[in-house]
Amino acid sequence: MNDIFSDRISDVPRSFIREILKVTLDKSIISFAGGLPNRDLFPVEDLREATMHVFEHDAKDALQYSTTEGYLPLREYIAERYATRHNLKVDPSEVLITSGSQQGLDLLGKVCLNEGDDVIIEEPGYLGAIQTFSVYRSTFHPVPVMDEGVDVDILSDVLDSCNAKLFYTVPNFQNPSGITYSEENRIAVSRLLQDRQTLLIEDDPYGELRFMGSEKKSFRHFLPKNTVLLGSFSKIVVPSFRIGWIVAREEVMEKLVIAKQATDLHTNYFCQRIIHEYLRTHSIDDHIELIKSVYLKQRQAMVDAIKAHFPSDVHHTEPEGGMFLWVSLPVNVSSVNLFNRAIEEKVAFVPGNPFYVNRHETNTLRLSFSCVDEKTIEEGIERLAKVIREFV
């Protein structure tokens, strides 16, 4: 009966993370494994007000089918925010509302990738991107990510050796590593891409969550035509609405709209209206400040606990924002073995494996600090340190 399935789906494994998250449902486990924003920070009351307003003022329209591109005032808001926050000129016609930025990846795969096409991806990189582009049967070219950004020498070699259609990046507080590309690194990367057709996908779900250090310029400043921006309200407002967006130049947008229509007609319009009403009547900046103040404390607690308790030959990143931190153990330590021991000690994380293309053994792991309070972080890192010491 397997004849019924396409080749593309036979190649994609069930998400490793899903399996891990099942293990961590045990309430006695301190989990640094999830990638969720902190639910205690959701602007529940403000969203309730915005929802009531939509029901009272324009319910019938908000409940009807709508346009594939998305609610124009929301697209205008997004374009305007790029101008005020990033000094980037984006026209609302360049903005397509998607069902989360994950769908942005799927649509880009759909409109760009033939089987076997070359895709450059960060290593470690976002596993959702690895999954999606795997479905389009792309040929992956991983390029290492280091503390200051992607390895430019390797990127240069890779670009020369293949015909990459897409280069997928999360340049701010990357998932999984937490690192941010420096401005020099962005400029160097942009120079390499300048005269090529490769589209650079700048996926930026965490960019607004900077606790420290200085804002870095978007790739769109350096590569205005070939940068595609992906954005999302999941980390700064709420995830369950699944409202994200793609910004792309006209000819790419035209194809994306066709693909979007054939995929799901349009994104949930009721929630587009709610989120627009929320943004129109509340200060998103104040709300982001609140999120940042909490995440910063938790990030600080985690970095401090790691410094206090982990063996000194364990490397870790020190993210300036976002939700994640990356740990590199001595090369001979398997993070999957560590995971199995850690669960016994009631502490969880995500082993690095799923963030690499085709790697089954790694010495790396991801820790999330978004959903755990400072005291619990201290306790969890102590537990983890104890287990690490058994392996090092």
Stretch touching a copy of itself by CB under 8 A, among 75-83, 152-160, 256-264, 305-313: 256-264
Query: Does residue number 328 form part of the binding site for a copy of itself (CB under 8 A)?
Result: no
Among all chains, which residue has been given the structure tokens 């200060």?
Answer: 283
Checking DSSP bridges between strand 350-351 and strand 364-368, what pairing results, if any? antiparallel
Least separation in angstroms between residue 12's CB and a copy of itself is: 6
Is 358 near a copy of itself (CB under 8 A)?
A: no
Q: Which is nearer to a copy of itself, 117 or 320 (CB)?
A: 117
Quick one: three-class SS letters along 119-153? EEEEECCCHHHHHHHHHCCCEEEEEEEECCEECHH
Nearer to a copy of itself, 96 or 306 (CB): 96
Please enumerate in sequence order all residues whose Cβ is within 8 A of that of 262, keeping only pairs 6 or more positions apart, or say none. none
- Determine how many CB atoms are found less than 10 A away from the CB of residue 121: 25
**Spatial contact of 165 and 199, defined as CB atoms under 8 Å apart:** yes
Interface positions, 226-255, toward a copy of itself (CB under 8 A): 234, 238-242, 251-252, 254-255
The only residue of 16, 23, 46, 55 in contact with a copy of itself, by rule CB under 8 A:
55
Q: Give the position of tokens 């690192």.
A: 179
* Site residues (CB under 8 A) for a copy of itself, limited to 141-170: 165
- Is residue 1 at the binding interface for a copy of itself, with CB under 8 A as the rule? yes
Rounded CA separation 35/284 (Å)? 22
Question: In 3-state terms, what secondary structure has residue 172?
Answer: coil
Residues 273-302 that bind a copy of itself (CB under 8 A): none
Segment contacting a copy of itself by CB under 8 A, of 134-142, 307-315, 346-354, 381-389: 134-142
Name the DSSP letter for residue 25: T
Supply φ then ψ for residue 214, to 5 degrees.
-110, 145
Distance between CA 206 and CA 323 in Å, rounded?
8
Q: What residue has token string 């994380």?
A: 349
Q: Which is nearer to a copy of itself, 164 or 343 (CB)?
A: 164
Nearer to a copy of itself, 232 or 317 (CB): 232
Q: What are the beta bridge partners of residue 231?
A: 245
The interface with a copy of itself within residues 193-212 (CB under 8 A) comprises 197, 199
Please identify which residue in 30, 31, 100, 159 interacts with a copy of itself, judged by CB under 8 A. 100
CA distances from 280 to 49, 196, 230 (A): 12, 39, 21
Distance CA 361, CA 88 (A): 41
Give min distance, CB of 300 to a copy of itself, in A.
24
Residue 259 in contact with a copy of itself, rule: CB under 8 A: yes
184 forms part of the interface with a copy of itself (CB under 8 A)? no
Question: Measured from the CB of residue 230, what is the shortest distance to a copy of itself in angstroms?
Answer: 13
Taking CB under 8 A as the criterion, which residues in 104-123 touch a copy of itself? 106, 110-114, 117
Strand order in the sheet with 315-316: 315-316, 324-328, 364-368, 350-351
Nearer to a copy of itself, 136 or 173 (CB): 136
Q: Please, which residues bridge with residue 228 across strands?
A: 201
What residues numbered 22-51 form the site for a copy of itself, per CB under 8 A? Answer: 36-37, 39-40, 42, 44, 47-48, 51
Residue 257 amino acid letter: V
The CA distances from residue 172 to 31, 115, 158, 204, in Å, are 24, 30, 22, 6
- From the list 6-14, 183-191, 279-287, 302-310, the region that binds a copy of itself by CB under 8 A is 6-14
Measured distance CA(65)–CA(61) in Å, rounded: 8
Give the DSSP letter of residue 223.
Answer: S
Identity at 122, one-letter amino acid code: E
Please identify, using beta-carbon distances, which residue of 79 and 257 lies nearer to a copy of itself: 257
Q: Rank residues 23 and 187 by Cβ distance to a copy of itself and give the closer one.
A: 23
Query: What is the spatial distance between Cα 369 and Cα 294, in angstroms, rounded to a whole number?
Result: 10
Among 64, 84, 214, 358, binds a copy of itself (CB under 8 A): 64
For residue 126, which of 222, 220, 204 has the smallest C-alpha distance? 204
Closest contact distance (angstroms) between CB of 332 and a copy of itself is 33
Q: Which stretch binds a copy of itself (CB under 8 A): 100-108, 290-298, 342-350, 381-389?
A: 100-108
270 binds a copy of itself (CB under 8 A): yes
Q: How far is the CB of 110 from a copy of itself (least distance, A)?
A: 7
Report the nearest approach of a copy of itself to the CB of residue 112 (Å): 6
